[in-house]
Structure 1
C-alpha cells in the first residue's frame, strides 16, 4: 500500500493523478439536485439581520416536524435555529461552558463526553472551548458503554454527545437508556439526529421522546432534504438550555440567512420530498453494500446512515484509502479520521446510483485485491428491515 497522509485533500490529489475520473465517496452528499430556494426570500428581509433564534415560522415548522414524525410536542420557544448542525456542534461546548455552573459536587465541569468513533467536530468543538474530550467506550458492535466510564470523568462531565444513526458506524443507539443515564448523573444529553431519517432497521427516533428535561436534539436540512448548501438546522429540547444558548449565540453573530430560514420553513413543513430522498438513500445503501461485497470488500448493511463502515483490506484504513485513490480514483474516508479506534476501517458514502458505482468498484477489485471468484466474495448481512420506509406520521 502507498504510504503518506490520509486527509481528504491528499486523497483528492491522488485521485486526480490516478488516470481515472475521481469518484468521491468520502462525503455524505447524495448526487441529487438541491432543494430550490423559497421564491422571493432573498429580498423579504434583506434590510435587517435575520433573527438568530430563527423566525417564528421556521421554529413552528420545526416543532410541527417533530410532532408529525416523532410524536413529540415541543413548545416553539424551546426550538431555535442554527446555521447548520456542524456550526452548532463546533460551538456548543463553548456556549454551554459559559452558561453552566463552574462546579458540581466539588468537581469542575471541564469534560465533554464524545463518541469513541464520531464526527470530528465533536472533538474539535471541545478543544476550541478549552475543555477536555473523553471518548465513551463501546462494545464489539460499536454501541456506547456508559457504564464503563470512570466515576471521576462522569463527575466532571459538562454534557454528553450521542449520535444515532451514528456517523461513521451506522449504529442505531437505544436513546431511552442514554437519556436515563444522563438524568441519573446530572449530565445533559445532546443528541445529534442529522441522520434520523436514514434509520433503516427501525423507525426514526429522537432523544426528546423521553421528555425535554436535560436533553437537546439537533436536526438539519442537510441530510433530510439534501440541502447542505442552505446551512440551516435547528436545536430543540430543555427550555432552560435553549434559553441559555439563544442570547449567547446571538451575541456571537451566529445566524442563518433569511433565504435559508424561509426555505427551511417550507422544507420542514413538507414530508413528501423527504420521503422521496429517504427512498433514494435506502436504495443506494443497499446497492453499495451489494457492490462492495461483490468486489472484494467485505461489509454488512448499516442499521442507519448514509455510510458503509468496512474493515480495510490489509488492516490499515489510511493505506487502503491512499491506494484506492492513487490506482482507481476512488476517494474513501480513512476510519482513523473518526477516532483512533477506526484505524483499521474505511467509511464509504452511499451517494451514487449502482450505474456509477459498479464499474468503478469493479476496478477497485481488479487493481487492489487481485482476481477473485464468486466463492471468495462474502454475502452482505442485511439488517432486519434494510429499507425501513416508514411513512411520515
Structure 2
C-alpha cells in the first residue's frame, strides 16, 4: 500500500482543484527574520567550525542562562546543522562515545518525531517505543526491565511533537541517571510552552544529559539549518570529535546569523505571542466547525481526534474536500493513528474558508471520511516509516 504522506496529500488536493493550504509543518507562514543576515564576505575560505564558533556557543550559553536560569560553559555547547540533523545522527556515535558498552537500544516516545526512530535505524540500533498513558505522557515505569537494561539512550521531547504534552523532566532525568542511560532532551518547542514556564532537562544537572535546541522553532529560521546541543561536557567533547571527522557542520554565515538571533530575545517573544494566538484561534475555529480539540500544554499544533478514529482517512478527506493539508497522526507512531496534527502557522482568517468546505454533520462526515480512506493509505507500518518535517 502507498504511504499517506504530505506529498501525497498535496497531490490529492491539487487533483481535486484546490490550491493547497499546508498545515502539516511547524513553519510559520511569514518569512524568517532578515535583520540578522551576515554579509556574504563574512564567509572565510577555511571550513566552518564543526563544533560551532565561539561566538555562537557563547550566544547559546547566554540564551540558556537568560531563559532557563542555568549556567553552561561554552565548551559544553556545540553546533549542529539543525536539530533534526543532530537527532538523526547522534546515535551513530554514541556507542563509541559511551564505550565500553554493549547496549544497543534507543528508547523513543510511543508518539514522537520520526527522526528518533530514523536515527536508531541509521546506527543499526534497536528503537523501542516507551509506553504512554491515555494523555500520551511517557510511562518509563511500564518499560520492561530487560529493555531498560539494553538502553543506550532515551529521548524525551517536551513540549511534545505532536501531542503538545509537557513532561515532568525531573523524574525522567533521575530514571536515566540511575540506570546509566544517556538522556537526550529535544527542547525544540521549549519556547512554545503554554502551561507554565519553559523548562530544560539541564535544570537537573548536566551529568548524563544533553539538551537539543532549534533555531527553526525559536526564531522561525528553518533555512539557516543551525541548532545546538549542550550538557554533559565529556559527551559533548566526544560527539564534537566524531562529528567533525564525519563532516557535520553548519556554514559560517549561518552560524553568525544564529548567534545574532540567540542574543536577541525580542523577536522570539514576538513570535511566541503570535504562535499562541494562532493556536488558540485554530482550536476555536475547528471546534466551531464541529471538530473539537483542546489547546495543548505546548507546541505549535492542534492534536485533533479524527472522525471515525482514522487520522489517515481524515487527512485524505481534508485534502480532497478543502485542500487542507494536515498530518496523519500515525506518522508519529501507531498510538497516533486516531488523530491528525494541525499546525497553527497561519492566521485563522486564512483557515476558516477551508473549514467551511468540510461537512460538519457528524454522520455524513463519518461516511465521507470512510469513503475517502481508500486502500492507498491505511497500512499500520506507514506512520512508523514516515520521516516528514518538524
- What residue number does 1:244 align with? 238
Return the alpha-carbon distance in structure 2 between the equivalents of residues 40 and 308 of structure 1. 35
- Distance, in Å, in 1 between the alignment partners of 2:75 and 2:359 is 53
* 1:248-267 correspondence runs (5 A): 248-267=242-261
How far apart in 2 are the matches of 1:95 and 1:219? 19
CA displacement at 1:5 relative to structure 2: 3.6
Q: Does 1:176 align with 2:176?
A: no
Distance in 2 of aligned mates of 1:327 and 1:97 = 48
TM-score (normalised: structure 1): 0.90
* CA distance in 2 between partners of 1:187 and 1:252 (Å): 24
Cα distance change of structure 1 residues 40 and 339 upon mapping to structure 2, 3 Å threshold: closer
Structure 2, unaligned stretches of length 5 or more? 366-390
Which of residues 60, 71, 88 in structure 2 aligns to 1:62? 60
Question: 1:133 pairs with 127, 130, 143, which one?
Answer: 127
For 2:362 and 2:20, the matched residues in 1 are separated by 16
8 Å CA contact 2:38, 2:256 repeated in 1: no
Cα distance, 1:358 vs structure 2? 1.3
Alignment of 1:142-291 (within 5 A): 142-291=136-285
Distance 2:213 2:41 in 1: 26
Quote the residue 2:29 is aligned against: 31
Shift of the 39–134 alpha-carbon distance from structure 1 to 2, 3 Å rule, reads: closer
Q: CA deviation at 1:361?
A: 1.3
SS in 1 for 2:307: coil
Cα root mean square deviation, aligned: 1.6
User: Do the aligned residues in 2 keep the contact of 1:332 with 1:346 (CA within 8 Å)?
Assistant: yes
In the TM superposition, residue 40 of structure 1 has moved relative to its aligned partner by 4.4
Alignment counterpart, residue 41 of structure 2, candidates 36, 40, 43: 43
Q: CA deviation at 1:39?
A: 4.5
| Equivalent position to 1:74, from 67, 72, 75 | 72
- The answer for the alignment partner of 1:381 in structure 2 is none
Query: Aligned-pair distance for 1:366?
Result: 5.0
Unpaired runs of at least 5, structure 1: 372-393
3-state SS in 1 of match to 2:24: coil
Name the CA distance, whole Å, in 1 between partners of 2:357 and 2:156: 37
Number of residue pairs aligned between Structure 1 and Structure 2: 366
1:323 is the counterpart of 2:317: yes
State whether residues 37 and 259 of structure 1, in contact with CA within 8 Å, keep that contact through their aligned partners in structure 2.
Answer: no
Distance across 2 between alignment mates of 1:369 and 1:57? 59
Would the aligned equivalents of 1:5 and 1:318 in 2 still touch at CA under 8 Å?
no
Q: Distance in 1 between matches of 2:8 and 2:317?
A: 12
The one-character-per-residue Cα deviations of 1:196-234 (angstroms, maximum 9, x if unpaired) are 000001100000001101100000110000000000010
Q: Which runs of 4 or more aligned residues in structure 1 lie more than 3 Å from their structure 2 counterparts after TM superposition?
A: 37-41, 365-371
Do the aligned residues in 1 keep the contact of 2:38 with 2:257 (CA within 8 Å)? no
Please give the alpha-carbon distance, in whole angstroms, between the structure 2 residues aligned to 1:42 and 1:257.
11
